[in-house]
Amino acid sequence: MGFGLEFLFPVAKILLIMFTVVFVVDLLLMYKTKTPIKVDRVLPELLSITDKNEISLQITNNYPFAINVEIVDELPYQLQEREFEIEGEIEANKTSKVTYDIFPDERGEYNFGVVNVFTMSFIGLVKRRVKGSQAMKAKVYPSVNQMKKFE
């Protein structure tokens, strides 16, 4: 539009410079911390078929400001969960606990992958991916509660 309306060209230049400065500031905020967050997954020792099994994630924010997070846990293929995502906010230098439930429907060994956490500052132009808890295995057995119920 600056070619047709010449007075808009300097305005566009100023806006571009402002956007670039804000982008660089957001980039520095997100990447200046070497270990921005710490994630630990807590699994029960044994998982039960068709019962509610609670999985918890402990996320520690090491940034000096609050962050928005998107948590993508790599769930076992047996659960057939394709779009698992949790969103939230964690205060500065605080630990937050996130829990979710799974309902296994077959016996065997379930392999959980890594926990991917995507962090964004209050500006929201840059998103940083941090790999959290390492891959884990959990064994799924028939439910003792269900067996007692049908006994």
pLDDT (tens digit, 9 = 90+) per residue, 106-135?
888 888 889 999 999 999 999 999 998 788
131 with 94: CB under 8 angstroms? no
CATH number at residue 122: 2.60.40.10
Query: In the chain, how many domains are there?
Result: 1
pTM for this structure?
0.81
Confidence band for 147, pLDDT divided at 50, 70 and 90: low
What is the extent of the structural domain holding 86? Answer: 35-150
Q: Is residue 114 assigned to a domain?
A: yes
Q: Is residue 19 assigned to a domain?
A: no
Confidence band for 63, pLDDT divided at 50, 70 and 90: very high
- HSE (CB half, 13 Å, CA atoms) of 134? 0
Q: Is residue 77 assigned to a domain?
A: yes
Q: Is residue 75 assigned to a domain?
A: yes
Structure tokens at 71: 């948590």
Q: Is residue 116 assigned to a domain?
A: yes
Q: Is residue 25 assigned to a domain?
A: no
